[in-house]
Amino acid sequence: MAVTFADHSQTAGPAFAGRPAVTTQAGAPKLPLSPNSRWWYISHPARWQCIDGEWLPVLAQMRATPGVNGVDKDGDTAGAETRLRREHWTVIPWDVVEGGYVVQYDGARGPVYLSRWESPRMVAGQAVVTTDDAGYREFLRGLVANGVIRPPDPHTIDAITERQRIRVAENEKRAGHDPEARRRLDADKALLTQMQSANTPGTAPKGRVK
């Protein structure tokens, strides 16, 4: 792999044994979820969202799926990383947080890679994954505060807010005859108000995200 990071310990999930994605372990219960490829979070300077009056980055994933999106047949991500960086994406290292942010589980059909904020458990005979949204948001805040992700350019925030303003205006026009537009209108207006009043995040001294 082109991207490799240090090995750290990782707390187990509530029902299945998880471990950092860079280690191996045998004998744990098999997680009955579809297998997936190892992945890394990636960020782009144009991708931000306003949640509860707070601007936070929107992350995507770079997956080490052989033969897909610049990954070679052996799963090496060097080509994918080069392409992403040309397009202004940032690949976020696994060990940006203590213990890493990807957890590997032994799946019934192969390895399953989840974020550390996703917890698999069995409910009524089926595997269900719950997400710690508060913990994930804290992670996003830390990425900005510690300089891993640069704060958004004011023009980016203005452009996102303007798109939301247009969305509200269009829904207002359709609300009289379109039930779906009428249903969305209040939520869209509330989000626009949050966007207009939210402060853009600042920076703090670089370091490990807590």
Q: What are phi and psi of 78, to 5 degrees?
A: -55, -45
* Total structural domains within the chain: 1
Residue spans of beta strands (DSSP E) within the chain: 19-20, 39-43, 48-51, 54-57, 60-63, 90-91, 102-107, 110-115, 118-123, 126-131
Tokens 């098999």 identify what position?
Answer: 30
pTM here?
A: 0.79
Q: What is the pLDDT of residue 19?
A: 52
- Please say whether the beta carbons of 11 and 88 come within 8 A: no
Q: What is the pLDDT of residue 20?
A: 56
Q: What is the pLDDT of residue 178?
A: 83
Q: What is the pLDDT of residue 202?
A: 57
Q: What is the pLDDT of residue 23?
A: 45
Q: What is the pLDDT of residue 26?
A: 53
Q: What is the pLDDT of residue 121?
A: 87
Positions in the chain whose pLDDT score sits under 50: 1-18, 22-25, 203-208, 210
Q: What is the pLDDT of residue 122?
A: 82
Kindly give, in sequence order, each residue whose CB lies less than 8 Å from that of residue 142, ignoring residues fewer than 6 positions away. 97, 148, 209, 210
Q: Which domain holds residue 154?
A: 1-210
